[in-house]
Amino acid sequence: MLSLPWAWNGQTRLSWLDALFTSTSAVCVTGLIVVDTAQFSLFGQTIIMLLIQFGGLGIVTFATLYVALPRRRVSLVNRGIIKDMFIDEVESNPRLIIRSILLTTLSIEFIGFLVLRHRFKDLEVDGYVFAAAFHSVSAFCNAGFSTFSDNLIGFAGDLTINLMIIVLIVAGGLGFVVHQDIGRVFMRTKHRLSYHSSIVIITTAVLILVGLAAFYILEYDGAYATMSVPQKLLAALFQSVTPRTAGFETVAQSSLNLASVAMVIFLMFTGGSPGSTAGGVKTTTMFMAFVSAFRGHEEDGSIVYRGGALSPGSVIKAFSVLAKAFFIVASGFLVLLALEGRKYGFGDLLFEVVSAFGTVGLSRAVTPGLGPAAKSLIIAMMFMGRVGLFAMAISRASDRVERFAEFPRESLLIG
């Protein structure tokens, strides 16, 4: 559809590879682009927005839709998959969760649309209605696509647009279980947030505040040198939020110093929270790895934190996801380094691979200049980042079969 003549307004014909790249980036809600999104026609941009929306609802939502269709039995394996992603809330009524996801998504996006529409209209932005809808969907789905050629750099000092985009990004990255939990507490059907929701909110807040302080200090006399202090704080806050798989930018990533780039890479790799529109290894994975590294284990291998015991299985799964993610990123980086190492720097290519794997969409002006082989690699990285880790994190049915014999316990020296 993106290859159709009326979907593209550029000077030269859009290649099939570039159309595939754009389509994958939209469905995987990444935001990496090889051609300017502003050069697509209204039809082409609408297709991209719909792809972002479908991708943002997530593979888990559609898996839930599949197993919850009328007259279709939900198998124990499928019910276990849903439970793994949505905790115990979904076990009772998958259809209710689907409705909650759809209503939550559309409601938040509609609020974002109303605010952005009003502000774009005041700023006399061309096609402000569609621009507001497009950016609301793109922000909530953590995609980072923009109908403006310079992304959101032209609105770097606009408080309303920046804060609305930040709210949409954070809301999309919290996860639907957290949304539902907050709603129940707000409606007073629950007295307090669940353990999962509390950890997600705390971890998210810590990452945002640490990122805000780091970018403000590191870029005070750098990329933010010409800004006033309030503008620097706003730019630092936006920069702290957007690497969490959103991909919007109000300051060009190529203008950041190396310390800031390292911070962005860490945030991109971490990503959002489970069951959300965001990518990355997820906040809960990094939380469990951090707690496991700095707190003692109980006799059964569990870790006690804030009145709850994290099971040994959860900790093992977290480290398993981290190990697989490191392997995928390292493999992709080595291949990209072999393909484009003579043309781009070490750090720029690592940034590109992590951005693709974390489905972020930020780039240090590398993506458009990649060759066909490198573009194909980035397409694969975006797909693996969106689908691969989720698939690998789910326990296979064969792993759950009860064994009638135990292997002898062995020990390895660690450290």
| 400 vs 105: which has the higher pLDDT | 105
pLDDT of residue 46: 96
Q: What is the mean pLDDT of residues 154-158?
A: 93
How would residue 241 be classed by pLDDT, with cut points 50, 70 and 90?
very high
Task: Indicate if the pLDDT at residue 316 is higher than 90.
Answer: no
**Which residues are within 8 A (CB) of 237 and not within 5 positions of it... i.e. 6 or more apart?**
162, 166, 208, 212
pLDDT of residue 84: 52
How would residue 302 be classed by pLDDT, with cut points 50, 70 and 90?
confident
**CA–CA distance, 246 with 29 (Å, rounded to integer):** 8
- Read off the pTM: 0.88
Would you list the domain boundaries of the chain? 5-395
pLDDT of residue 264: 96
How would residue 91 be classed by pLDDT, with cut points 50, 70 and 90?
very low
Closest CA to 368 of 343, 403, 389, 393: 343
Q: What is the mean pLDDT of residues 63-91?
A: 53
Q: Average per-residue pLDDT in the chain? A: 86
pLDDT of residue 89: 47
Contact in structure between 171 and 243 (CB atoms under 8 Å):
no
- Give the lowest-confidence range in 98-102, 338-342, 361-365: 98-102
* Residue 102 CB burial class (10 angstroms; 0-12, 13-18, ≥19): middle
Task: Indicate if the pLDDT at residue 19 is higher than 60.
Answer: yes
Task: Indicate if the pLDDT at residue 352 is higher than 90.
Answer: yes
| pLDDT tens figures, 169-186 | 999 999 888 888 888 888
Task: Indicate if the pLDDT at residue 198 is higher than 60.
Answer: yes
How would residue 203 be classed by pLDDT, with cut points 50, 70 and 90?
very high
Contact in structure between 105 and 57 (CB atoms under 8 Å):
yes
